[in-house]
Chain A
Amino acid sequence: MTKKILLLAHLDESGNGLPKAAGEALGAAVDLAKQLNAPLSIGLIGGDVQAAADSVANSGAQRLLAVTGSEFANPRFASDLLAADALCRAASADLILAPATSRFLRALPGLAHRLNGRVDTHVTSIQVVDGELCATRWFYRQRIEGVFQRDLRPWILLLDSGCHEAYCGPSGKATIEEIAVALSAEARRTTIAGIRAPKSDSQTIRPDAALLFVAGAGWTKKQPDGKSHPEQAESLILGFLRASGASLGGSKSLVDQSGENQAVLGFMTHLNQVGQTGATPRHPKGLSTCCHGEEPHVVGWRFINERRAINLDPNCGWARGKADVLYVADAFDVMAKVNELLKKPQA
């Protein structure tokens, strides 16, 4: 029986608001608190959390706790762990929900050990079944979906983004209970030196994009003229990304070629890789081009709602039974036309 729920969140990179994933985790926490009739608290970590606290002031949370200060503004395992530990102990919660951000995925598993609790990450849903709380997540890289429950508390659940409606209540004036946390010298051994990002014109990974464009190794294969055309492929793909605002994913075979310094797509890195050994991003729509392969390769777009594919093989396992529409055509020709249409001013 869950007695108290805590939603843990950290500020986004701007230092003012909450990340999208935190809003979704809060939405899940609010729903769960109602279902279980359990009191909800919110714990925030960041430099100055007042604006973020105000944005969730009307969420129904009974307590708004925070660990604040410049030492807690940036993601760092040791300080995030200490802050989360202090918030959890102050809230005395037996169920702790948090967004599965890179910051919390780094720190919160350690928290479970400190609280003598248990942690599960990449949770895609939480439900109450027969009065018991059940969590769902994928195993074997999105190939087997498991539903499970735990008896031990506290139970920390990190919810993947895109799996729940975000909380969207009106702002208010929040009263924050500040929890003091002292950092030892050992906890300060790591300092954050900044963020390294590709130049804005070469940024091809856009988690909030409406469309995922997946490029497969077919882009670098020999074309009907007997030659490969990586420069043309690069121009078509980048042109499409610029015009559509889509995020770029690549198949493992294509990404590995880039790593082996073959004459392939220069902008494609392992960060773009989707699939069994890459990412499984969540976007409303996905368009795959020149992708081939069976089930293990298809997990890259398991969480794409509407899927279309362009492929020369009508029986390709990547698309058949996995996509809503399969266009049997040459992706070079089609994408050139798509880019032309996207560049034309709308009537």
Chain B
Amino acid sequence: MSNGYHIVVCGSVVPDPLQTLEPIETPAGPALKNEMLLPAVLDPWAAHALYEAANLAAHAAGSKVWLVSLGARAKLRQVMMTIAQKVSFELVPIDGPASGFIDAHATAALLAEAIQSITGLDRSRLLLFGGWESASRGAGVTMQLIGERLGILDQFQGVDQLTMQPDGAFEILERIEGGRHQVSLCQGPPALFGWATGNLPEPRNNPQIGMANMRAIMPALQRAKTVAPAPDALRYRSASPPKQQRQTRIVKNLSAEEIAREIVAWIEKA
């Protein structure tokens, strides 16, 4: 494609997966205890989407990448310090809650509105990227809702590979049941891709890219619109971590053969 793609990546910030998460009750519903103090990362599958977007843009002259991110301004600033060093993009920040307990429909409405307001975005060349599920809500719903709001009829989820064809079409590999991929051919943009892991390693930090990105990111963060998702009559009765603690039988003094016999008997027991 001679004019390249306009790639918009949707990705929010989530608590570092290694942190302990404890739900608390608030007047607005469940939330995470000390959420603002937890270190945050860019949502893992959205991060893969960003790296794939940057790689695609690098191979299609004239392409541009935007990252549309909804999260608390302070958290976005913290995460951008790292992510901005990975790949080139223009940040479209939205200052608002990124909790997994916020309804996906309200989040999708805010993200779609932000995408529609991007100056110079050519919707005929639009490739909308994101993670197929977030590490917070984990529903795999938001991207499809954004796509519907933007009128995108070609949507793919669990994408591990996107290959451009000489005629401008795409070949897409989507994860399906049983560790397999469905292969689809799409005529071209506009299209939506909810990425799984993809094939690319995490790019190394590049301070030069970081400095170039941050020149635009910091002012964008200062200008970020503060929003509150519309209340959606979603009512939580409870939110709790699993309490089940198993009584583990520790077997220390058996030989490998004895353990093997016990395991085989257990496996073969109906």
Contact = CB atoms under 8 A, between A and B. Distances in A.
Classify chain B's interface size: 35 or more
A139 B140 CA distance: 12
Classify chain A's interface size: 35 or more
A324 interface: yes
A244 B246 contact: no
B241 A205 contact: no
B139 interface: yes
Interface in B142-156: 144-145, 147-149, 153-156
A267 B3 CA distance: 39
A162 interface: no
Contacts of A244: 267
A26 B171 CA distance: 34
A84 interface: no
B173 interface: yes
- A contact face: mostly helix, strand, loop, or mixed: mixed
A329 to B, nearest CB: 5
A171 interface: no
A285 B145 CA distance: 36
Contact of A189 (B14, B187, B232, B267): B187
Contacts of B179: 197-198, 203-205, 271-272
B174 interface: yes
Contact of A141 (B17, B181, B240): B17
Interface in B226-254: 232-242, 245-252, 254
B186 interface: yes
Given A118-B232, A121-B140, A337 B240 contact: no
Contacts, number: 259
B176 A195 contact: yes
A149 interface: yes
A120 B44 CA distance: 21
Contacts of A5: none
Contacts of B171: 193
Interface stretch (B50-58, B215-223, B255-263): B255-263
B62 interface: no
A307 interface: yes
B263 A287 contact: yes
A168 interface: no
B266 A308 contact: yes
A333 interface: yes
Contacts of B232: 118, 150, 152
A190 B138 contact: no
A119 to B, nearest CB: 6
B153 A78 contact: yes
A169 to B, nearest CB: 24
Interface stretch (B18-26, B70-78, B82-90, B115-123): B18-26
Given A302-B242, A314-B252, A323-B246, A77 B154 contact: yes
A139 B186 contact: no
Interface string A94-129: 000000011101110110111000111110000001
